[in-house]
């Protein structure tokens, strides 16, 4: 049995002790090709420390072999010894054939550690040295995509598409669809999604295409793809949300509500589904169902601002003032600074004849709602009824300045002028 076969046998049998003894013997060998193949074999099976041991022997005997430095650097990175790996890579000189490969390894390392600009600089250097290499152009495009530089990435992907269909198992067409979508160029992404759908149909691809159609306002195609997706994978939760939104955009409110409820049946603890179902129920004129969903959303997340505002709005519309005041009294202090909630407090306290509290809330709400016509109208009417005529006149002037066509408040101000005369 050859030594390489012996290495593989010990690996497969899990005989670590025998493997260690064998490596002791191999370390003394001068058959460098066999040693190199052994190191590669060990690394492929995940025996990184053992592989590094062989690479170290090889480099001691062949110090000028740049490929050995790259291979050992990769192994050291797997072992978490990045500093030693970077030191090895730094020894590879620009004039060596392996220099570009070293740049790619460095780019990958810096990308994984979150140093995007450093990774890009290494790829750019490799690209300048070998701009014709598809692998380098692809790696460059991948980093550009990850860095949010979609236009530059698309140019590289488009050029690659004319030469190769995929690199490293990644479809260039899929990257074009993804990159156009990431850059919000959804209509440009659609042809690539359709090209992919002719070859394969998977949940993620269906969702990506459906999202692009939804963003392009083609709700019919989006819904069709999402229904196919849900049939394929009933537990693909995002599909229910997007389908509900697509139905809502298409004005099919009942279908939207049913889709959100289907999502809730799949995941009753998803606050987004509960909120969306609540809003759909409101559009359908189902306040009881809406309240149930909104209360559930708020119960799932007591800091869910949008659910609180929507539920408070419902109580305000129904003039359920005691419940509205109680709801807002148990919320966190940060919400005291949300003008709309203060406005709801003002309306409720006004209807409950708690005029001092109403006045306080009107004043607070005014800071953020000083351009909202309905609020300003309610505030001015309150001031008039509360005998605060001068303040009412100031707010009325604000309304007329913002809404010159509001004849009611213009006439009100003219009347005040006539009375003064």
H-assigned helices in 14-81: 16-26, 32-44, 48-61, 66-78
d(CA 195, CA 301): 41
Confidence band, pLDDT 50/70/90 cuts, at residue 334:
low
Q: Tell which residue, 140, 59, 131, 70, has the closest CA to residue 99.
A: 70
Confidence band, pLDDT 50/70/90 cuts, at residue 180:
very high
- Let me know if 274 is exposed, middle or buried by CB neighbors in 10 A (0-12, 13-18, 19+): buried
Using the predicted structure, report yes or no on whether residue 243 has a pLDDT greater than 70: yes
Read off the pLDDT of each residue in 331-354 and give the average, rounded to a whole number: 86
d(CA 254, CA 356): 43
| pLDDT 10s digits, 245-254 | 999 999 999 9
**What residues does each domain of the chain span?**
206-301
Strands (E), 355-399: none
Using the predicted structure, report yes or no on whether residue 278 has a pLDDT greater than 50: yes
H-assigned helices in 301-354: 305-317, 321-329, 339-351
- Mean pLDDT value across the chain: 91
Using the predicted structure, report yes or no on whether residue 419 has a pLDDT greater than 70: no
- Domain 206-301 fold is 1.25.40
Confidence band, pLDDT 50/70/90 cuts, at residue 76:
very high
Using the predicted structure, report yes or no on whether residue 1 has a pLDDT greater than 80: no
pTM for the model: 0.79
- Across-strand partners of 352? none
Q: Are the C-beta atoms of 120 and 143 separated by less than 8 Å?
A: yes
Predicted local distance difference test score (pLDDT) of residue 200:
86
């Amino acid at each position: 049995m050859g030594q390489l076969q012996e290495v593989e046998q010990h690996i497969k049998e899990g005989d670590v002790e025998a493997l260690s003894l064998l490596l002791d013997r191999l370390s003394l060998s001068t058959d460098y090709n066999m040693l190199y193949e052994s190191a590669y074999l060990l690394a492929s099976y995940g025996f990184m420390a053992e592989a590094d041991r062989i690479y170290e022997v090889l480099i001691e005997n062949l110090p000028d072999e740049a490929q050995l430095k790259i291979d050992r650097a990769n192994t050291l990175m797997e072992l978490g010894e990045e500093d030693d790996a970077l030191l090895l890579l730094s020894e590879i000189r620009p004039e060596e054939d392996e220099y570009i490969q070293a740049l790619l390894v460095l780019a990958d390392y810096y990308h994984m550690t979150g140093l995007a600009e450093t990774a890009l600089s290494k790829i750019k250097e490799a690209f300048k040295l070998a701009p014709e290499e598809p692998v380098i152009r692809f790696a460059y495009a991948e980093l550009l995509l990850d860095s949010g530089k979609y236009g530059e990435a698309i140019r590289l992907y488009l050029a690659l598409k004319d030469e190769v269909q995929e690199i490293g198992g990644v479809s260039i067409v899929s990257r074009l669809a993804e990159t156009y979508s990431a850059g919000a160029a959804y209509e440009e992404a659609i042809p690539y999604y359709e090209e992919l759908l002719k070859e394969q149909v998977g949940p993620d691809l269906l969702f990506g295409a459906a999202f692009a159609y939804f963003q392009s306002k083609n709700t019919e195609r989006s819904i069709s793809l999402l229904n196919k997706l849900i049939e394929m994978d009933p537990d693909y939760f995002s599909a229910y949300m997007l389908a509900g939104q697509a139905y809502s955009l298409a004005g099919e409110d009942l279908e939207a509500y049913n889709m959100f409820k289907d999502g809730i049946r799949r995941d009753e603890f998803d606050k987004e589904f509960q909120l969306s179902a609540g809003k759909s129920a409101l559009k359908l004129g189902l306040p009881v169902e809406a309240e149930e969903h909104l209360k559930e959303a708020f119960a799932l997340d007591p800091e869910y601002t949008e659910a609180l505002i929507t539920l408070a709005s419902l109580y305000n519309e129904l003039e359920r003032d005691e419940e509205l005041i109680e709801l807002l009294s148990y919320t966190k202090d940060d919400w005291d600074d949300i003008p709309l909630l203060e406005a709801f407090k003002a309306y409720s306290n006004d209807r409950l004849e708690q005029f001092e509290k109403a006045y306080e809330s009107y004043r607070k709400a005014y800071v953020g709602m000083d351009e909202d016509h309905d609020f300003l109208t309610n505030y001015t009417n309150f001031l008039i009824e509360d005998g605060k005529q001068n303040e009412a006149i100031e707010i009325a002037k604000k309304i007329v300045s913002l809404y010159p066509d509001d004849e009611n408040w213009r006439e009100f101000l003219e009347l005040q002028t006539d009375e003064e005369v």
